[in-house]
Amino acid sequence: MTDAEKKLLQAKHRMEEAQARDRVKERKARTRRLIQEGAILEKALPEVRAMELSDLETYLLQKR
């Protein structure tokens, strides 16, 4: 394997690692947002805490 091939392979791996870090960061941001939105929903509509997810979806879709 030549030096150029090694450098190209290293660059590819660095790019893949950066993309993996970005995916983790995006997933954590989404998880945080979903938790915050759920907390706001429960605060505004306390009755939703006892609902199944399918019932909650139906309830919210009726409110449109």
Tell me what pLDDT residue 20 has.
98
Mean pLDDT score, 50-63: 92
Tell me what pLDDT residue 1 has.
85
Tell me what pLDDT residue 52 has.
96
Tell me what pLDDT residue 63 has.
73
pLDDT band at 64 (very low <50, low <70, confident <90, very high): confident
Q: Is the pLDDT of residue 33 over 90?
A: yes
Q: Is the pLDDT of residue 32 over 80?
A: yes
Cβ atoms of 42 and 49 within 8 Å: the answer is yes
Structure tokens of 49? 């805490």
